[in-house]
Amino acid sequence: AQKVTQAQTEISVVEKEDVTLDCVYETRDTTYYLFWYKQPPSGELVFLIRRNSFDEQNEISGRYSWNFQKSTSSFNFTITASQVVDSAVYFCALRSGGTSYGKLTFGQGTILTVHP
Amino acid sequence: KAGVTQTPRYLIKTRGQQVTLSCSPISGHRSVSWYQQTPGQGLQFLFEYFSETQRNKGNFPGRFSGRQFSNSRSEMNVSTLELGDSALYLCASSLRLGPSQEAFFGQGTRLTVV
């Protein structure tokens, strides 16, 4: 069975602080894909990043960076110099082959509030 | 390029009724998946369709069903509604089948069962 755990239910920071959202996953598959999505109040899930299980390189995109560590089954997301517009619910998700082919398994989400 | 369009955005139904939700994927996308989001259970996978065939199904009762048309548009139906079916229903489209595919989500249909 696959599982994604986001231990932080809610995080509150002040603008310009750095914040890291944790994600730990479980899967028996050797090939899998990890995703991060952002859900603003409007409801849609906005795709942020995809990482496959064979690529452990960290990635940076503007103020966003992701740290993938297979040894600890973690795929953490850091926002540098947070802004009020970053306030949203963030979801980490896992997808692999096998019987759960197309299914995205989501974590419970982390509510991020950035105060001015 | 238009995104994933879900209609209606809001619905209020009475227990025992049935409801049909619609999803138009991004043009050219052939895979459509449905998810239910509730405060208690989070985001849960309902089913995935590709080429008008259901390819995968989550752990939901048979009251939840779906279909996909030849133009890739999809509908999901919930019969004999229960209070617990109140949720945000999200549709996602992908270019193709496969675990590597990025899924693009619509804004969802918020269903309230009273």
Backbone angles phi, psi at A33, to 5 degrees: -130, 140
Least confident of A11-15, B50-54, B80-84: B50-54
Residue A96: per-residue pLDDT: 84
* Mean pLDDT for all residues in chain B: 95
Q: What 8-state DSSP symbol labels residue A15?
A: T
Q: Is A69 on the interface with B (CB under 8 A)?
A: no
Mean pLDDT of B105-109: 95
pLDDT bucket at A89, cuts 50 / 70 / 90: very high
Which residues does chain B have within 8 Å of residue A32's beta carbon, measured at their own beta carbons? 99
Closest Cα to residue B85, out of B23, B38, B46? B38
Q: Is A54 on the interface with B (CB under 8 A)?
A: no
Total residue count of chain B as it appears in this document? 114
Burial (CB count <10 Å: 0-12, 13-18, 19+), residue A4: buried
Closest Cα to residue A48, out of A40, B98, B36, A56? A40
Q: What 8-state DSSP symbol labels residue A54?
A: T
Beta bridge partners of B11: B111
SS3 A28: coil
Which residue out of B37, B49, B89, B94 would a mutagenesis test of the A interface target, given it has the greatest number of A Cβ atoms within 10 Å?
B37
Mean pLDDT of B8-33: 97
Residue A1: per-residue pLDDT: 80
Residue A58: per-residue pLDDT: 84
Flag whether pLDDT at A57 surpasses 90: no
Backbone angles phi, psi at A84, to 5 degrees: -55, -35
Flag whether pLDDT at B64 surpasses 70: yes
Q: Is residue B104 within 8 Å of residue B64, measured between CB atoms?
A: no
Flag whether pLDDT at A28 surpasses 70: yes
pLDDT bucket at A56, cuts 50 / 70 / 90: confident
Q: Which residues have a Cβ under 8 Å from the Cβ of A6 and sit 6 or more positions away?
A: A21, A22, A23, A24, A90, A91, A92, A107, A108, A109, A110
Q: Is residue B18 within 8 Å of residue B80, measured between CB atoms?
A: yes
Which residues does chain B have within 8 Å of residue A47's beta carbon, measured at their own beta carbons? 102-105
Flag whether pLDDT at A98 surpasses 70: no
**CA-CA-CA-CA dihedral for B42, B47, B50, B55, to nearest 10:** 120
